[in-house]
Amino acid sequence: MSIPLDSSGPLMKDYASTQACTWCDACGDYGIWTAIKRALVELKIHPWQALLCFDVGCHGNMADKIGGYRFHGLHGRVIPFATGAKIANNKLPVIAVGGDGASFSEGVGHLVHAIRSNYPIVFILHNNANYGLTTGQASALTPKGQKMNVSPNGIPERTLPSMDFVFSLEPTFVARGFSGDIPQLTQILKTAIAHRGFAFVDVLQSCPTYNHFATHDFLLERCFDANKEGHDPKDLAKARQLATDTSKRIATGILYQNEDVPNFCEELVPRQGKATQLTEEVRCIDPSIFYEDFI
């Protein structure tokens, strides 16, 4: 993938925003926010050289807290508009950010087709295992039986096995990070941004206000870096086992990566051999020509 480089590179302050922060104290969003900025800075990508797309949710409020080109869209729809931008200019690094509520309920169909189509974008799942912005309702990833806002008796549904589901769709990149390990998450995101196709990055994050079951300390005690323990991201069977078996310890790092599968843009026959991007080919036209037949 071609990433525009500039030898001078940006600084963290270039990604700063003057908007006041509305996240709760100790929210995992702070760690993810920092890692995204660090990854872009370390890759020498300036704020005007990337597009950051946000779903609606607590995590989506990051759209106000980061400099550069940002798009804040509808709940559950971050993948379609991120993909549209990428297809229009596939030299642009595009990062889509979504919550577990939106991504595994309202927007789950988009996630399925993004993995299947291998769209060349990064998808960061802010996984706080609940609907945070609307005050702590259960998401599809909340553990069965957990008492949540509007479910005082505990939620009756089984938890969606998200990682097994993702692996069933034959992804080309799956990683898991933890909002409390910013250096590791930065490395994961750098690899994800350079990945050829769709990069799914599940980030387990603390939500001190509504998630009282997978707290920061809970995650800190269980998460381990699988790559440091010798896991090879080419080993699909081991990757799936590490991703899905979280009963004792939780594997983090680059769990699976396959660079051999062409991405969606590479498969588009009409775009093959084109030296230009769609954004360079558009021209201004008078839209009234489309209404003439109706006037």
Ligand X SMILES: Cc1ncc(C[n+]2csc(CCOP(=O)(O)OP(=O)(O)O)c2C)c(N)n1
Could you tell me which of 96, 66, 82, 56 has the C-alpha nearest to residue 201?
A: 96
Q: At what angle do helices 78-88 and 108-117 cross, to 10 degrees?
A: 30
Determine contact, residues 92/71, Cβ cutoff 8 Å.
Answer: no
User: 89-121: buried (b, 16+ CB within 10 Å) or exposed (e) per residue?
Assistant: ebebbbbbbbbbbbbbbbbeebbeebbeebbbb
Tell me the sheet residues that pair with 129. Answer: none
We find the least distance from the C-beta atom of residue 175 to ligand X, in angstroms, to be 19
Segment contacting ligand X (CB under 6 A): 99-107, 114-122, 263-271, 287-295?
A: 99-107
The secondary structure of residue 24, as a DSSP letter, is P
Q: At what angle do helices 182-194 and 29-42 cross, to 10 degrees?
A: 50
Task: For residue 100, state whether it binds ligand X (rule: CB under 6 A).
Answer: yes
57 vs 120, beta carbon nearer ligand X: 57
Task: For residue 266, state whether it binds ligand X (rule: CB under 6 A).
Answer: no
We find the least distance from the C-beta atom of residue 14 to ligand X, in angstroms, to be 25
Binding residue count for ligand X, defined by CB under 6 A: 18
Figure out which of the listed residues 14, 42, 64, 106 binds ligand X, where binding follows CB under 6 A. Answer: 106
Residues 224 and 271: their CA atoms lie apart, in Å, by 42
Segment contacting ligand X (CB under 6 A): 1-9, 13-21, 96-104, 242-250?
A: 96-104
Residues 195 and 262: their CA atoms lie apart, in Å, by 11
Figure out which of the listed residues 35, 52, 56, 226 binds ligand X, where binding follows CB under 6 A. Answer: 56
Task: For residue 139, state whether it binds ligand X (rule: CB under 6 A).
Answer: yes
**C-alpha triplet 241, 244, 250: angle, nearest 5°:** 95
Task: For residue 99, state whether it binds ligand X (rule: CB under 6 A).
Answer: yes
Figure out which of the listed residues 28, 80, 93, 132 binds ligand X, where binding follows CB under 6 A. Answer: 132
46 vs 126, beta carbon nearer ligand X: 126
23 vs 256, beta carbon nearer ligand X: 23
Task: For residue 86, state whether it binds ligand X (rule: CB under 6 A).
Answer: no
Segment contacting ligand X (CB under 6 A): 14-22, 93-101, 247-255, 272-280?
A: 93-101
Start-end of H helices in 207-248: 216-222, 236-244
Q: How far apart are the first and last CA of the chain?
A: 47
Task: For residue 200, state whether it binds ligand X (rule: CB under 6 A).
Answer: no
Task: For residue 50, state whether it binds ligand X (rule: CB under 6 A).
Answer: no
Task: For residue 133, state whether it binds ligand X (rule: CB under 6 A).
Answer: yes
The residues that touch ligand X, with contacts defined as CB under 6 A, are: 56-59, 75-76, 99-102, 106, 126, 128, 131-134, 139
